Structure 1
Amino acid sequence: MIEKIPLENILFLDIETVPEHENYNHLDQDLQYLWEQKTQYQRKDDYTPEAFYDRAGIWAEFGKIICISAGYFTIKGDIRNFRVTSFFGTEEKILKDFSNLINNHFSHPQHILCGHNAKEFDFPFMARRMIINGIHIPQKLNLFGKKPWEVPHLDTMELWKFGDYKTFTSLKLLTKVLGIPSPKDDIDGSQVSHTFYVEKDIDRIITYCEKDVIAVAQVLLRFRREDLLVEEEIIHI
């Protein structure tokens, strides 16, 4: 089935998120209480709410998006390219710019969004943060009223499961077993918040995010038994 989808119809993406505030103490009293309640099960007795706050970026209610990277194929005859671009700045600007990309270039019925573990994380996180920021949700992210087979999303982790719901397979592991150069050769997800708030190095985060997008595209190519991208085919916009 995935072999029949024209590569040009797929928008590959990845997001990077951090806690909405740099420190737990920046939360008002209500949010501190709500954070304690929200994370009670995950923390158990091992962490205080304050010590656990560095993980706030995985919850849309307490985190924010600092980068969205997207990539898409252009194919003309025998020439194949993969174009990668990133959105950064204020979260509102990131979400509006990404929404414009979808609405202007990937809004038709044949277009599909693709990520790794994106159905569980990236897609719902973006939609929730759009609501919080008062931004209209593009139809490609708005699943209300859609039947499962009408959802225009591909998830490489879900494809790899083949119906197995018991395990999580990281992008790093999947690229390793598929013989794809690892995108995790610098920072990893646990270091993004420190890189953003302490080192203030958004360029490093953008590079990290774009490598993930390229890796997702490579994984899909392996699923389709097609040649992997080489460096000369990748264009950073």
Structure 2
Amino acid sequence: MISKLNLENILFLDIETVPETAQFSDLDETKQQLWETKSQYQRKDDYTAEEFYERAGIWAEFGKIVCISVGYFNITNDVRAFRVTSFFGDEVKILKDFKNLLISHFSKAKHLLCAHNGKEFDFPYIARRMVIHNIELPYKLNLFGKKPWEVPHLDTLELWKFGDYKNYTSLKLLTNVLGVPSPKDDIDGSEVYQVYYEEQDVDRIVQYCEKDTIAVAQILLRLRGDELLHDNEIIHI
């Protein structure tokens, strides 16, 4: 049961992604053709492949990670602290630093990774980008040969579904209905491309990513029936 989980054994996370290049024209001809084929069903006849390229960050084959934010609980004598930090900048360095964190602090069988829609997006995206950059997968992301109950991943979207596979609930909606402070008070995912490539404001993206990570932790607390985190319990490292 979720209430039996030790919060200190969970690493909460969120990622922000953008297209691998600023413009569609920056891709070589082969990659442009591959993008046109890959995106044809999503864009249909409403957009050209070039017009649709701002959304390429959704796919690991055409995007890259610009920030991974993580958070974890430290509980001493019933006093909670939720520590949040971020990896950002060069993607290879982001991935290697994140991998080092997993290996050094979250590598035991009891440790779990938790994200919202993480099983469909965050976890496989990170793993795919590691493979693309020839980075050996850490145990927590290497699912080959694992049985479903052996996968060390928690997903707040999956927990909220309660077995209903037809339902998708965004992080913004779920925080709203559960009375969790909204993380979407500045930008949302659709604006990360503009903030990264046009405004070149990585700090703003990091702040947004950290808010999402905190929101994931808050949702898990609500699902457990625990008290939400107060501002003074959240420590940015």
Q: Aligned equivalents of 1:208 and 1:103: distance in 2?
A: 26
Q: Which runs of 5+ in 2 are unaligned?
A: none
Q: Aligned equivalents of 1:167 and 1:36: distance in 2?
A: 29
Query: Normalised by the size of structure 2, how large is the TM-score?
Result: 0.99
Q: Aligned equivalents of 1:139 and 1:43: distance in 2?
A: 36
Q: In structure 1, what is the equivalent of residue 31 of structure 2?
A: 31
Q: Aligned equivalents of 1:23 and 1:43: distance in 2?
A: 17
Equivalent residue of 2:68, what SS? strand
The total of aligned residue pairs comes to 237
Q: Aligned equivalents of 2:21 and 2:125: distance in 1?
A: 17
Give the superposition deviation at 1:57: 0.2
Q: Which amino acid aligns with 1:142?
A: N
Structure 2 residue 77 is the aligned partner of structure 1 residue 77: yes
Q: In structure 2, what is the equivalent of residue 64 of structure 1?
A: 64
Q: Aligned equivalents of 2:92 and 2:47: distance in 1?
A: 32
Structure 2 residue 10 is the aligned partner of structure 1 residue 10: yes
Give the superposition deviation at 1:78: 2.0
Query: Normalised by the size of structure 1, how large is the TM-score?
Result: 0.99
In percent, how many aligned pairs have the same letter?
Answer: 71
Give the superposition deviation at 1:40: 1.2
Q: Which amino acid aligns with 1:115?
A: A
Give the superposition deviation at 1:236: 0.2
Q: In structure 2, what is the equivalent of residue 132 of structure 1?
A: 132
Q: In structure 2, what is the equivalent of residue 199 of structure 1?
A: 199
Q: Which amino acid aligns with 2:187?
A: I
Q: Aligned equivalents of 2:43 and 2:226: distance in 1?
A: 43
Equivalent residue of 1:68, what SS? strand
Q: Which runs of 5+ in 1 are unaligned?
A: none
Q: Aligned equivalents of 1:176 and 1:234: distance in 2?
A: 20
For the aligned residue pairs, the C-alpha RMSD in angstroms reads 0.5
4+ residue stretches of structure 1 with deviation over 3 A? none
Q: Aligned equivalents of 1:221 and 1:186: distance in 2?
A: 24
1:45-64, aligned counterparts within 5 Å? Answer: 45-64=45-64
Q: Aligned equivalents of 2:14 and 2:216: distance in 1?
A: 9
Give the superposition deviation at 1:134: 1.0
